[in-house]
Amino acid sequence: MDLLRFITCGSVDDGKSTLIGRLLYDSDSVSLDVLAALENRPTVHGTVDLALLTDGLRAEREQGITIDVAYKYFTTPRRKFIITDAPGHVQYTRNMVTGASTADLAIVLVDARQGVVEQTRRHSLIASLVGIRHFVLAVNKMDLVGNEQAVFDQIVADYAAVADQLKLPQVTAIPISALLGDNIVTRSKNLSWYTGPSLLEHLESVPAFEEATMGEPRFQVQFVIRPQTDDYPDYRGYAGRIQSGEYRRGDRVYILPSGQESVIEAIEVDQREVESAAAPQAVVLRLTDDVDISRGDSIVPVGSQIHVAKEVEATICWMDERPLWPGRKLLVQHHSAVVKAVVAAITYKVNVRTFGRAATESAQLNDIVGIRLKTAAPLVVDSYQHNRATGAFILVDELSGDTLAAGMVEAMQNSFVPEPLGFTI
């Protein structure tokens, strides 16, 4: 059985929490005691308020809105699902980015009465920026527009323009009513003109994890294992996770950014030696040479098109209340590697309504901007488009430790692609 992570997004009151509640409820994933607690609460409609299954914080129940990301789980005979329920409010856009960054699929909810609105565009933009490949346009509240096919068709046509602008790879449109359960788990007679799959049928059949195991081999050292015991006097293993691709015993590799060369002597999984291992496995690599390697270094096969760069251009989503100005010094955390950096320039700001780019002097909370970043030590990166693992980073405030931004590498300046033989920085 495999795993699919998906996010629900859309504007406030589009019914995201109700949709998730409905998926959990109709797939028989809600425990009786949890349900009983819901049934004890008075509701406006006189029915169980399914949204309460996800809004877990006191402030959320008080205000009837989703503030922070909630994670929910359910399993069908075909698949295990991790649902990320992200907030719809503009001021919680950073939480939506948080949820989208780990998702394989995005359900973009649209209220059939409202059609495509600004938040639909904003969330589609963010989901596409973080590299989500599969999109579901879920046109909700179809019961409130008389289940009219024409309404659905018009929204699908409107969204096609968005999908086109953002070059979304795959969009599946499904008319639903989360409140009534139409086309959520099973296809509904109320929408008999619709011949496609129900939402759950689609979620069960969409391919998961295509990109994780594909691509060039990438591995970053998290921790050096050196037991120094009688049994293992000279053991030195590099523990980390294969970020993409596959590693084989005997591979010739570079250690980056230093550029030293070695050969993989052994790949260990749970102390067993294996011939090969692939993303997303957590492994220990041992090399034939006693080279200087520490946390944050990358080990990649000779011939990889990975870049070693001290200057990158990146798209970021700024997540701090205090605005970002050029010249700001901060930390870049690129998985296990942390380096000092300076924001040399803010090159553009994305208009979330038009998706156009405009000049800007600063980045405010929730802005999506392009920056040029100079780092004190080289980063070992791919462009985000090329590799979702090695092209991603966060910006961190050195003093407070706060996470300031999500970043995606677009291009590298003055970078080296390590060449076989004689490579030096």
Q: For residues 1-30, which are near other proteins according to CB under 8 A?
A: 1-3
Among 43, 63, 64, 71, binds other proteins (CB under 8 A): 71
Interaction of residue 133 with other proteins, rule CB under 8 A = no
Best CA proximity match to 10, nearest among 162, 171, 140, 145: 140
Interaction of residue 76 with other proteins, rule CB under 8 A = no
Interaction of residue 101 with other proteins, rule CB under 8 A = yes
Cβ-Cβ contacts under 8 Å for 158 (sequence gap 6 or more): 115, 116
Element (H, E) at 301: strand 298-301
**Alpha carbons 191 and 177: distance in angstroms, whole number:** 10
Q: Min. distance of Cβ 74 from other proteins in angstroms?
A: 9
Instruction: Determine how β-strand 307-318 pairs with β-strand 368-381.
Output: antiparallel
- Is 388 in contact with 214 (CB distance < 8 Å)? no
Q: Is 249 helix (H, G, I), strand (E, B) or coil?
A: coil
Query: Cβ closer to other proteins: 28 or 361?
Result: 28
Interaction of residue 54 with other proteins, rule CB under 8 A = yes
Which 206-245 residues touch other proteins, going by CB under 8 A? 209, 213-214, 222-223, 225-227, 229, 231-232, 235, 237, 239-241
Interaction of residue 167 with other proteins, rule CB under 8 A = no
Give DSSP secondary structure letters for 316-346: EEE--SSPB-TT-EEEEEETTEEEEEEEEEE
Instruction: For helices 149-166 and 118-129, give the axis angle rounded to 10 degrees.
Output: 40
CB neighbourhood size of 362 (10 A): 14
Query: Cβ closer to other proteins: 98 or 183?
Result: 98
Among 46, 77, 359, 400, binds other proteins (CB under 8 A): 400
Interaction of residue 33 with other proteins, rule CB under 8 A = yes
Among 8, 17, 18, 98, binds other proteins (CB under 8 A): 98
Interaction of residue 58 with other proteins, rule CB under 8 A = yes
Gyration radius (Cα) of the chain, Å: 24
Provide the mask over 281-320, with x wherever binding to other proteins is found by CB under 8 A and - wherever it is not: xx------------x-----------------------x-
